[in-house]
Amino acid sequence: MASSDTVLLVIDAQESFRARADDWAATANPAVLDNIALLVADARGRGERVVWITHSEPGSGGVFDPAQGFVRVMDELGPLDSEDAVTKTTINAFLSTDLDERLRSAGVRRVVVCGIRTEQCCETTARAAADLGYEVDFVTDATTTSAIPASGPLAAVSGEDIMRRTESILAARGFATIIRTSDRTGIAAAR
């Protein structure tokens, strides 16, 4: 068990997203998996915990339904059996899990957030972590999302704009410190 007071939360880096092939092909940050892998290697080297979080929608019949076989961490990220795995059923990784109890019992004070859907599960979890009293580092270049198409009165928003907006709001409103993979690892991140 790692003894650091910092933990890396890898949120929803799961096959469910690749199962939506067109959406995955249009991801705003094609380097996301390379950057997550750099963060994981760095955390392990520092003796920090890595927590693998997946999203599940049992009985939905979609790509997040565990019966479909996609609710698993992407193989190339190589989670270790000794690392914590948490499955959530809500956007916020704390609400439907025992994540807060696990982190508090390990003496964690800082969470480093990366993963898939910058503005959805990653941002929501970062905000919840801040509300719970954790210091939060949000590694935007180790997150990704996809564009939101126009619908009725709602304007289209590019994935890149979503990522920039998320950085601005989290930082300006005091929820997180925005960092890059290279800030944490000292290694140039993939682009």
Catalytic residue list = 121
Quick one: three-class SS letters along 37-93?
Answer: HHHHHHHHHHCCEEEEEEECCCCCCCCCCHHHCCCCECHHHCCCCCCEEEEECCCCC
Residue 3 near residue 47 (C-beta atoms within 8 A): yes
Residue 118 near residue 163 (C-beta atoms within 8 A): yes
What are 10's two structure tokens? 């890898």
As a whole number of angstroms, the distance between CA 128 and CA 95 comes to 9
